[in-house]
Structure 1
Amino acid sequence: MAKRKQLDDFRVPFSNGDKGGKVFSLADFDPAGKPFSAGSKQADRERLMAYAAQLDEMQERLHAQRRERVLLVLQGMDTSGKDGTIRAVFHEVDPLGLRIATFRVPTPDEAAHDFLWRVHRQAPAAGELTIFNRSHYEDVLVPRVRGEIDADELKRRYAHIRHFETLMAQSGTAILKCFLHISKDAQRERLQARIDDETKHWKFDLADIEARRHWDDYQLAYEEALAATSTEHAPWYVVPADSKPHRNLMVAALLLRMFQSLDLRYPPGKESLKGLTIA
């Protein structure tokens, strides 16, 4: 009997900086896999609802306590489901204390600063759960594939990212990074669906086709970036993303496990309120 998969089987080996380390390949992970499925799409949705209710309670404690910070990073190729994951996983979570930050092409003002300047401003505050829908990793992926930075600059940026995430972790931020791993065939189907449905045209960008032409280059760029920046305090997890319900379920399970590892409690009751009666 095959051994049942555990969440940490999908964790990218921890980086040893620029000194090398365990070999990591995305080819070892099946994007169509459903290792944590409850057996059917409906069963997966029902389990997700249970997770979502628990996440709502944990996030409320986080916000009430205003001590810890939580950062969820979502990265992946176009159509891998970053937006869909957010809608599905957090639909039960009170928006109070929840914030989503999206990083697009840098503005002229952002480009005039170091690449982490715009990112640090979006880091979660005490009591806040922040989701990066794309992130600082865009700056070691797109420029690399386009040949805009050389190998030395790439290594420097990896180091800057590790130091930046160490700073956040040491300042009380729990960090979870999920790479939504979609297959090239599944991406083709989702892109075509956007073209065939006029109500989805707003989601389609011709730049997606250009990026698709460099699929192999992006896969290699992701492999190296994940391997260089997966650390004990900011681990990367590869999430099979061809199945939307399973993708959502796995991200929710990872995040719930992180929340449960934190000492999240409601603040102690106030003596001044004991016995108070509202007239």
Structure 2
Amino acid sequence: MPDPSTDTEVQTAELGPKQIRKIIDRFRVTDGADFKLKHYATDDPLPDIVDKSQAKALLRQGVQRLSDLQELLYANASWSLLIVFQAMDAAGKDGTIKHVMSGVNPQGILVTSFKAPGPEDLAHDFLWRINRALPARGMIGIFNRSHYEEVLVTRVHPEILARQGLPPSLTDGKKFWDHRLKDIAGFERHLARQGTIVLKFFLNVGRDEQKKRFLERLDHPDKNWKFDIGDLKERGYWTDYMAAYEEAIAATATEQAPWFIVPADQKWFMRLVVVAAINDALEALALKTVMPTDEQIASFAEARRRLEQEP
């Protein structure tokens, strides 16, 4: 009897670079001029390109390829990669990070989860704590929520802004949010010019799917810890959040720092899109294996001689 996994790998091999690129490009946003969130379905697994069994095999291959690319990134120590995850609650940020980064050397990656800013954070500009968490050259940094919270949750809940100690004359009206979005776009442009690749993922979960996942967390004792009553409160602001996301993405989507509006109702497809987009960006760097210099080669020979002379 044929091995089903072998059949899957054969099918997967038929999914060439053009098809992978088509998957990525379907959800990539590099110009927000005409961006509308309603144009992106939360359940859009592109069945004409990839099915679930292929996607799972591709994810395994993608995770392995990411491991290889991360090693090159670390060895070259010139570029860095910043991955930003934004989403409504229960969209799958934590699970996506876990699955996509499962094969990456922990020494080359740093995950930062941004909670509510503390007193020291509030005593500085809103990007201060973000700068402190940026990945060093050769590293992959992951932001589980990010600087975008300052134009999302803070915008939906203006009382948060009122506690930030900014001069009232600077926070009045829509112009304040326009300025903050321009600051974010400028910040990301600066990072790109300094060798940091910026990839931003909005895991686009549907409202009905979020309800389903909340109920699963309540129904299964082993998942109760995932549920926070505050998440239910935020669900009540769904329309406000969608409007804030739409404006934020439209204002900050660029070639240097693209957004990916990833359908999140099907977790298997969401994870495939994320790993494919990350690998595509790292492949574009065309990183080469770091070769030793003549001086290093000579030192290797001396090291070998000394080791072989040991009793």
TM superposition score normalised by structure 1:
0.92
Report the number of matched residues: 269
Q: Is the 8 A contact 2:181 2:252 kept in 1?
A: yes
Q: Name the counterpart of 1:64.
A: 75
Q: Is the 8 A contact 1:70 1:174 kept in 2?
A: yes
Which stretch has the larger CA shift, 243-252 or 151-160?
Answer: 151-160
Superposition pairs of residues 1-279 of structure 1, within 5 angstroms: 5-15=22-32, 22-35=33-46, 38-40=50-52, 42-148=53-159, 150-269=173-292, 270-271=296-297, 272-274=299-301, 276-277=303-304, 278-279=307-308
Q: Name the counterpart of 1:18.
A: none
The one-letter code sitting in structure 2 at the alignment partner of 1:34 is P
Which stretch has the larger CA shift, 145-154 or 130-139?
Answer: 145-154
Q: Name the counterpart of 2:170.
A: none
Q: CA separation in 1, counterparts of 2:66 and 2:192? A: 21
Q: CA separation in 2, counterparts of 1:78 and 1:241? A: 11
Identity of aligned residues (%): 39
The one-letter code sitting in structure 2 at the alignment partner of 1:114 is D
Mark the runs of 5 or more structure 2 residues left unpaired by the alignment: 1-18, 162-172
Larger radius of gyration: 2
Which stretch has the larger CA shift, 104-113 or 80-89?
Answer: 104-113
TM superposition score normalised by structure 2:
0.83
Q: Is the 8 A contact 1:29 1:240 kept in 2?
A: yes
Mark the runs of 5 or more structure 1 residues left unpaired by the alignment: 16-21
Q: Is the 8 A contact 1:98 1:130 kept in 2?
A: yes
The one-letter code sitting in structure 1 at the alignment partner of 2:106 is P
Deviations 1:200-244 (A, max 9, x none): 222211111111001111011100000000111101110000000
Determine helix, strand or coil for the equivalent of 1:96.
helix
